[in-house]
Each structure stands twice: as C-alpha cells, then as structure tokens.
Amino acid sequence: MESVRPSVAAVHDRVTVHLDALDDATLVDQLRTLLGARLVAYLAGAPSTAAVSDYITHAAAVPDHVRARLKVAYSVAALQHQLGATPSLIQAWFQGRNPRLDDRAPAQVIADDPGRFRGTLIAAAVTLVGG
C-alpha cells in the first residue's frame, strides 16, 4: 500500500493553524525541540541559551520582535518536520547557506529581517524535503 503524502499547502495550513494556537512558552519549547537551544537563542538575539529556558519557564517575557522571528522560524521548521525532515536535518538547513536567500543562512535571514524573505524562506524550506 502506497502512502499518500499531504500537499505542501495542506501542511502549511496545518502548521499555521497550530502556530496561531501556541502561547509563547510552548512556541519556544517546540522550536527548541526542532532547532536546539543554541539556534533558538541566536534567532531570539539572546546572549545565551538561558534566555530560551527563561522564555519557556515564564521567567522572562518574549518581546514582540523576538516573537515575530520565532514564529517565522517555527513556521519554516515545523513545515519541514511535517514533510519528513528530522530535527538534525532542519538544524543543518537553518545554518547552511542558501542560494534562494542570497547565499545567506536561513537563521541569519530570520534574525536580520523575518518578514523580508518570508515567502522565499517557505519555498526554500520545501526544497529541503523535495516538495
């Protein structure tokens, strides 16, 4: 029996609905599971991974500009994961140069300007899993 792979659009819609339902602590925790604490700290512009733990335990509030970055990162990473990529593959993709992003790493693009390349990030993310 052949498995039916859901369309990228359907998975993206599911990820978006799930993302909209997440509180900040859960967003950071789920992103940490996919990307690791160091990469989440980098995306948040935090000096250490302790800030990531603080966000998860509610010891610190997630600033609006950080939330925006983390939401973009989550939408990309969760899409890749739902389409079959492992966390280690997703982490490598986030840190590697990407020709669709002017040879910049996706993590760098998100940290610098999460809205500018959003559509391009999604398209580049899908190529990782052959979509």
Q: Does the residue 1 lie in any domain?
A: no
Into how many domains does the chain fold? 1
Q: Does the residue 2 lie in any domain?
A: no
Question: Does the structure show a pLDDT above 50 at 1?
Answer: no
d(CA 67, CA 74): 10
Task: Write out the E strands in the chain.
Answer: none
Provide the pLDDT for residue 117.
Answer: 75
Domain boundaries, position 20: 8-128
Provide the pLDDT for residue 131.
Answer: 61
Provide the pLDDT for residue 4.
Answer: 57
Query: Which of 75 and 13 is assigned the larger pLDDT?
Result: 75
d(CA 118, CA 127): 15
Digit-coded pLDDT (tens) for 28-84 = 999 999 999 999 999 999 999 999 999 999 999 999 999 999 999 999 999 999 999
Residue pair 34/79 in contact by the 8 Å Cβ criterion: no
Q: Does the residue 31 lie in any domain?
A: yes
Q: How many CB atoms lie within 10 A of CB 100?
A: 15
Q: Does the residue 3 lie in any domain?
A: no
Digit-coded pLDDT (tens) for 97-129 = 999 898 999 999 999 987 777 788 888 888 887
Question: Does the structure show a pLDDT above 50 at 8?
Answer: yes
Query: Which of 47 and 8 is assigned the larger pLDDT?
Result: 47
Residue pair 83/131 in contact by the 8 Å Cβ criterion: yes
The pair phi, psi for residue 4, each rounded to 5°, is -100, 120
